[in-house]
């Protein structure tokens, strides 16, 4: 495998032959993926298809077993010395991880901190930025996600949708190059889904590069530049939303979409 992705300068992320196993289970089976700057990519597929594992490998929460990933032309997880790869230490991986903002199914907010404090924590503690400067940016981010009146609210005082919007603002506060969303509405009551999707639509419209694992096919059709269908750790089909969701070429894709819409 070449250690040079040789991609266009417009390519933000390249993955080559990424493979991840858990015991006898192959969660990712030689996945190849390119994501362009400013692209919104939605990944759909059944539970256990490898969608979330792929995001966790891209963000180095999980270490993949084989393959390589570049983000903004930087090889992640390894240092290259000629044709030899050396694993990076935890500190270097933590630095690389800053390129990706991650929004999980569960909100993972600090319960003892207000919404504003949750957003400020990373830039102040990790990036060592001036507190007053970060505070002004955090206030602006709360306004951006429609929560300008919730500065002093603790997570327990917020609805699930509001907590997820704070989690999105917290990820944005680190100024990532790429936003990863792992089924961000799956833990929400149905009436709260729309408020989170509205924030994500606005984020996509602003030009943020996004990879979104979702079961919200309507959102994928409306917002995505490209849709990927995964099954059994492989990318089965990829294309424009109208093609993959409206006229899929693979029977497995057709079966999945019919099951979701039934």
Confirm whether 98 is domain-assigned.
no
Confirm whether 137 is domain-assigned.
yes
Confirm whether 116 is domain-assigned.
yes
Q: How many CB atoms lie within 10 A of CB 243?
A: 14
* Contact present, 54 and 48 (Cβ < 8 Å): no
Confirm whether 64 is domain-assigned.
no
**Closest CA relative to residue 12, chosen from 248, 207, 186, 245:** 207
CA separation for the pair 180, 56 (Å, rounded): 9
* Contact present, 118 and 110 (Cβ < 8 Å): yes
Report DSSP state, residue 122: I
Alpha helices in the chain (DSSP H): 51-58, 90-97, 115-121, 131-144, 160-172, 190-205, 217-223, 241, 251-261
What is the model's pLDDT at position 86?
A: 86
Convert the pLDDT of each residue in 95-146 to its tens digit: 999 999 999 988 889 999 999 999 999 999 999 999 999 999 999 999 999 9
What is the model's pLDDT at position 108?
A: 87
Confirm whether 136 is domain-assigned.
yes
What is the model's pLDDT at position 118?
A: 97
Expressed in angstroms, the distance from the first to the final Cα of the chain is: 42
- Rg of the chain over all Cα atoms, to the nearest angstrom: 19
CA separation for the pair 103, 179 (Å, rounded): 8
**Closest CA relative to residue 229, chosen from 81, 43, 15, 27:** 43
Report DSSP state, residue 259: H
Confirm whether 159 is domain-assigned.
yes
> CB under 8 Å to 211, separation ≥6 — which residues?
13, 35, 41, 43, 55, 58, 178, 179, 180, 181
List, for the chain, all residue ranges whose pLDDT scores fall below the cut of 50.
1-2
* Contact present, 102 and 55 (Cβ < 8 Å): yes
**Cα→Cα distances 30→21, 33, 197, 254, Å:** 11, 10, 31, 23
The token duo for 184 is 């961000």
Confirm whether 126 is domain-assigned.
yes
**Cα→Cα distances 195→147, 171, 203, 258, Å:** 11, 17, 13, 26
What is the model's pLDDT at position 2?
A: 47
Structural domains in the chain (count): 1
> CB under 8 Å to 192, separation ≥6 — which residues?
159, 160, 161, 185
Q: Show the domain range for 157.
A: 109-175
* Contact present, 251 and 236 (Cβ < 8 Å): no
Confirm whether 122 is domain-assigned.
yes
């Amino acid at each position: 495998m070449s250690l040079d992705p040789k991609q266009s300068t417009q390519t933000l992320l390249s993955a080559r032959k990424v493979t991840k196993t858990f015991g006898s289970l192959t969660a990712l089976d030689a996945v190849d993926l390119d994501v362009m700057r400013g692209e919104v990519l939605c990944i759909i597929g059944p539970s256990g298809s490898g969608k979330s594992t792929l995001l966790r490998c891209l963000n180095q929460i999980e270490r993949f077993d084989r393959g390589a990933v570049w983000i903004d032309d930087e090889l992640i997880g390894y240092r290259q010395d000629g044709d030899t790869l050396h694993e990076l230490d935890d500190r270097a991986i933590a630095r690389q991880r800053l390129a990706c903002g991650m929004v999980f199914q569960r909100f993972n907010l600090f319960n003892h901190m207000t919404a504003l404090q949750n957003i400020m924590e990373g830039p102040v503690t990790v990036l060592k930025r001036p507190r007053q400067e970060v505070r002004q940016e955090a206030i602006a981010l709360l306004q951006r996600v429609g929560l300008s009146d919730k500065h002093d609210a603790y997570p327990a005082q917020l609805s699930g949708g509001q907590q997820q919007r704070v989690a999105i603002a917290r990820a944005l506060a680190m100024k990532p190059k790429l936003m990863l969303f792992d089924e961000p509405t799956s833990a929400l009551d149905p009436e709260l889904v729309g408020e989170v999707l509205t924030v994500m639509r606005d984020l996509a419209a602003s030009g943020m590069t996004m990879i979104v694992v979702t079961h919200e096919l309507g959102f994928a059709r409306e917002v995505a530049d490209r849709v990927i269908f995964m099954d059994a750790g492989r990318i089965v089909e990829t294309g424009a939303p109208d093609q993959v969701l409206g006229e899929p070429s693979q029977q497995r894709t057709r079966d999945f979409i019919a099951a979701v819409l039934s």
